[in-house]
Each structure stands twice: as C-alpha cells, then as structure tokens.
Amino acid sequence: MTRPATQKLETLAVRGGEPRSHAYHSVSTPIACTATYAFEDSRAIQEHFAGRSERHEYGRYGNPTVEVAERKLAALEGAEDALLFPSGMNAVTTLLLAMLRPGDHIVVTSDLYRRTRQFVVSVLARYGIEHTFIEPDDLDAAERALAKPRTRLLLTEAPSNPYLRIVDVARMAELASAARAKLIVDATLATPCNLRPLELGAHVVLHSCTKYLGGHNDLLAGVLCGNAALIGALRDARGIFGGMPDAHAAYLLLRGLKTLHVRMRQHNESGLRIAEFLGQHERVARLFYPGLPSHPDHALAQRQLKGFGGVISFRLAADGVTTSRFVDGCRLASIGASMGGVETLIQQPALLAHSELSPEERAAIGAHDDLVRLSVGLEHTDDLIADLSQALNAAFHA
C-alpha cells in the first residue's frame, strides 16, 4: 500500500491501513485472539488454496489485527507491503536467514546495534556467510566491499546506536544497486517522521517497533517494509520460522502509531534543547547528536533528516565510577535499556549493554566506561534539564 498523494503522514498515522468501521462497528481495531480459523466447508478450503478467497488459515500465517498494523506501517513508510514480527531482532534475523546463503557476503556499517552485530559475526559466520564492516561515511570502502563476489546485502542504521552516525542513504542505495545488492536500512531511531529510506532508494526499511513506533515501553515488535514481491517472500519465510506477533501487541502498536507524529515532534524539540545544554556543560567531554554542528555528520543530517530525534549520547570528563554516580543521581530518568518511549531513559552502556565484555573489548567497540546514552521522553524539557544539571553537579562533587 503506497501513500496516497493527498494524505499527509499525520493523517496516515491515525487513519492509514484501517477501514472506517471494524467488526461490531468499533472505531478502534479489535483484538482478534484466535490461533485457528474455521472453514465453512470443503469448497471454501479449495477456494482459499486456489487463491480465490482472502481469509486466514492458521494463526502462524496471519491475524486480522496484525494485518491492520502491517497496512498502517506500510502506509507510513510509503511501502507496498509490510511484515510484522514479535521483535526487531526477529525481523532482522528472519530477513538475513531468508535472503542469504552459504558463500554469500554482506556489507555492514559499524556502530550497529550490538545484537545485530553479534548475529552477523557469530551466527551467520557459522553458516559460511562472510561479512565486511565499513565506517558509515566511507563510501569508497562501501564500493570496494560491495564489489566482492556474492555480495547480497548492505545493512546499515540511520541514525546508528549509540553514536548516531548518519549514512548517505541515497548514495548507499546507488552503490548497492550497482552491485546488484539490496540496501537494508534500520531506521528505528529516525522513524518515518524523520527519515524516508524507501524514497531515497533503500530496498527494505527495518524498525524495532518496541521503540518510537510503539512509544510507550509496553510492547515488543519489529517490522520490515518494502516492495510487495520481496515482503511476500519474507512472509513465506516467517510462516516457516514461526515469528508471528500476537494480536495484543499489534493492537498496542496501532494505538501507539496514532500519536507517533505528535510524540516525535516533542522528542525532536526536547532532544535538540537538551543536546544544546549538554554540549555546553563543562562536565561533558564529547557529545554525539546529529542536530548540532559538532557531530561529524551534521551537514548530511540537515539534508537528509526532518528531525534529529530524542536519543543523545555523550561522554563525561570522568571515570566509570563517577559516570555511574551521575546516572544513579537522575531523578526523572529511569535507568533502562530501551529508548523511544514517553518516559525518559538513561543508561551507561558499559554496564547495561556490554557487561559481559572486558574493558578492552568494550573500548574497542566504543562502549567506554564514561559513555552515557539518554533517550529523551515527553516530560517537560525544563524539568529534564534541571534533573540532568543536579545529577551532574552531585556526581562531580561527591
């Protein structure tokens, strides 16, 4: 389902993919809690498998509530089709397992979500699938890596986690297409409000719906958006692998999507203001936020993004102990591993995301002891700044 030319994203967030009236004349999409669907008679079975009727066969292959969420997500991304999964990781692993074969090669940008990186390095390698890591801004390296035999995919994030690097999606799409490879863009931190990867030439857009799309820290889901043929093939793979989301999660996602544009407007505004505050604070050694000129990809971000989001990463002029004291001292921000919800979350990645690694291993991937990642929620910006200020002062004067 492509975006109607006359409808804006705000309208699609509320109305996209949904009929004017559902079963029981309800305004909101009902939760279809069923694993099995009954056929009226044997002829109905024959009609279904001959492709002459649109209906459901079994819960692992489809659900009415899930399908409405998929249609809305496709509309928001301007995609022909979308496929929902129980988590973002299930979405990306299904995609990679379905599209790659032993002997294939995948190009991946660095500063990737740690579990995606782990899957590429630890799991795909066991099946004889090679990989090459490149820096997000190194187009020459991307072109060289894509030239390797049997290169099938270029996988990237925009913005990346946690350093918020921005790739030139349009140029990466050109390079991938020239090499007959597919460009996969994880746009979880951007959302369709801030970045339109398909319009820039990407073949598939990936989201962890757990984050901004759901927006309330109360669901797990992931989605792949792209053209009908590719998503259709991945839908067949989902039926085999078994990654079918439940109807209740789809219902919560639909509810969250209806306010996405309003929430992102505030995330963008608060994120920029708080980044400006942190960037001027004497205790902050380095700040990573694409909305500020200090970020290495600021010029590209200005051209490519419609907003800079609510995730801010920064390194304190401190050791790990003082950094922990700062995180613990925040009164409004909850210490948590996710992002994109209405509640502000903060974490020290060295402890929460990479505790199993040695200090040397953490440093090698940029998870420094003094690194902090902040996901700005919807609390008043002034209150968040005041909270960060008191936590910084307390941590450094303890």
Confidence of residue 68 (pLDDT cuts 50, 70, 90): very high
Q: Which two tokens stand for residue 203?
A: 């073949």
**Per-residue pLDDT for 1 more than 50?**
no
Cα–Cα distance between 333 and 331 in angstroms, integer? 6
**Which residues, other chains included, contact 28 with Cβ-Cβ below 8 Å and sequence gap of 6+?**
22, 254, 255
pLDDT given at position 27: 85
Q: Which CATH entry fits the domain spanning 260-396: 2.30.40.10, 3.20.20.10, 3.30.9.10, 3.90.1150.10?
A: 3.90.1150.10
Share the mean pLDDT of the chain. 93
pLDDT given at position 47: 87
pLDDT in tens, 204-244: 999 999 999 999 999 999 999 999 999 999 999 999 999 99
Q: What is the dihedral of CA 318, 322, 328, 330, to 10 degrees?
A: -50
Residues of the chain with CATH 3.90.1150.10: 260-396
Q: What is the average per-residue pLDDT within 346-364?
A: 77
**Per-residue pLDDT for 357 more than 80?**
no
pLDDT given at position 41: 84
Confidence of residue 54 (pLDDT cuts 50, 70, 90): confident
Cα–Cα distance between 136 and 236 in angstroms, integer? 32
Please tell us whether the domain made up of 9-257 is placed in CATH 3.40.640.10.
yes
Q: What is the average per-residue pLDDT within 121-133?
A: 96
Q: Is the dihedral of CA 172, 197, 207, 113 positive or negative?
A: positive
Confidence of residue 177 (pLDDT cuts 50, 70, 90): very high
Of 189, 155, 193, nearest to 312 by C-alpha is 189
Q: Which two tokens stand for residue 201?
A: 């030439």
pLDDT in tens, 148-169: 999 999 999 999 999 999 999 9
Q: Which two tokens stand for residue 217?
A: 């820290």
Q: What is the average per-residue pLDDT within 286-291?
A: 98
Cα–Cα distance between 171 and 154 in angstroms, integer? 12
**Per-residue pLDDT for 364 more than 80?**
no
Instruction: Report, as residue numbers or ranges, the catalytic residues.
Output: 60, 113, 186, 211
Q: What is the dihedral of CA 286, 292, 295, 299, to 10 degrees?
A: -170
| Cis amide leading into 162 (omega within 30) | yes
* pLDDT cut 90: percent of the chain above it: 79
* pLDDT cut 70: percent of the chain above it: 96
Q: Is 368 strand, coil or helix?
A: coil
Range of weakest confidence among 30-39, 132-141, 173-182: 30-39
pLDDT in tens, 72-118: 999 999 999 999 999 999 999 999 999 999 999 999 999 889 899 99
pLDDT given at position 278: 98
Residues of the chain with CATH 3.40.640.10: 9-257
Residue type, 247: A
Angle between helices 320-329 and 381-396 (to 10 degrees): 140
Q: Is 185 strand, coil or helix?
A: strand
